[in-house]
Amino acid sequence: MDAQARSVLYRIIRRIPNRNIENLLKRWNCLSADQMRALDYTRPKWMIVEHVISFCEESRLGLKHVTNLEMIYRIENPDQGIWNACQLAEAQDDAVCVELTQFKEQFKAHLHGVIRHISIKMKKHEDEAIWIRIAWGDNFSKPNHLKPTYVVHHLHTSYVFISNLMAKHKIFLCQALVIATKHGSIKDGLLSTKSLNAMRDLLLRRYQQVFPNAHSRILQERNTLPSFPCIGKEHRDHEEIRHQMACEAFGHGAMPKLETAVYRLETRYKGNSNYTLSDKEEFFRGVVRFSSSSLLESLRHCVASGMAEGPVTPLLSAITQRGRNYFVITDKGPGVSSQASAQRA
């Protein structure tokens, strides 16, 4: 076992509580029953790692087996680092006919054709997601398995989720995805979070949505005292309306656990006559960031409880409706400028 394999193995095991190491090694299924029984999980991590390494050398296991262990760990613990969403566009007529085997062959063929030294591993998860691990090298250096890129894609959907991708490798990965999925282009989805499950639930609409109905009413008189005899009924009516507006904007039940939403301002000061107050062409720039352990739950509670006025502003409801948590606000309204997108990439 070489130094890189040792480093990858040590990095995996040091992240896991001792009580969970045994279950991970069982799912890996590369150590014999006698070797598994010989491991003492009450000992310090470095001792456990040394014993596992000695068993791997005894069984002639190498980097290929260790990276397989890393993939098992990463699939079961996806909330490692930051995930970014990308969206495929311009689907070809036969895009819906792409099969897993065809996807694998074309994806690997393209990357192996443009990069001499690269390591690609793929696994299909139980939820039909394709997990891809890419260790990047170049024409002169071997793949770096300590900083792999992870890609998750559900076939026949337009979304791809990427973690730990360097800018210099982005064009190669995007080309491979476009070719393998039979699309014309791929763009930044402007959605990033630590939780892969939250990102997938939001974009694939895996949460309980609430749609406007014939009985929905907009709360016209806000923050005013009741002036009718049936004060209790009026309060209940106001609460129902606020709750309806909150659910229409952010859904009902458990929500995807996004942690942040970022709004970048690129505007100019303007007076009452809509003329700019300064002759300078520079934008007034600023950043507004909303943060919470569960941002959508917090926003829904603020609206439903009356802490925030309704109806919900499109700047907030766009998080669920457009599947984004990064916005650029210009003089023309919320959008994404090419300059801002380039800076973010």
Asked if 83-203 and 231-344 have one fold, the answer is: no
Long-range contacts of 105-112 (CB under 8 A, 24+ apart): 106/176, 106/179, 106/180, 107/132, 107/176, 107/177, 107/179, 107/180, 110/175, 110/176, 110/179, 110/180, 111/172, 111/173, 111/176
Give the pLDDT score at 281: 62
- Domain over 83-203 is classified CATH 3.60.90: yes
Closest CA to 283 of 267, 270, 271, 269: 267
pLDDT digits (tens, 9 = 90+) for 227-284: 555 655 555 667 777 788 888 888 877 888 899 999 998 877 665 555 555 555 666 7
Give the pLDDT score at 218: 42
Tell me the whole-structure pTM to 2 decimals: 0.81
- Domain over 231-344 is classified CATH 3.40.50.2000: no
Give the pLDDT score at 86: 95
Give the pLDDT score at 333: 53
Q: How many CB atoms lie within 10 A of CB 100?
A: 12
Regions of the chain short of the pLDDT cut 70: 211-237, 269-283, 310, 332-345
Give the pLDDT score at 219: 39
Sketch the domain layout of the chain as residue ranges: 3-76, 83-203, 231-344
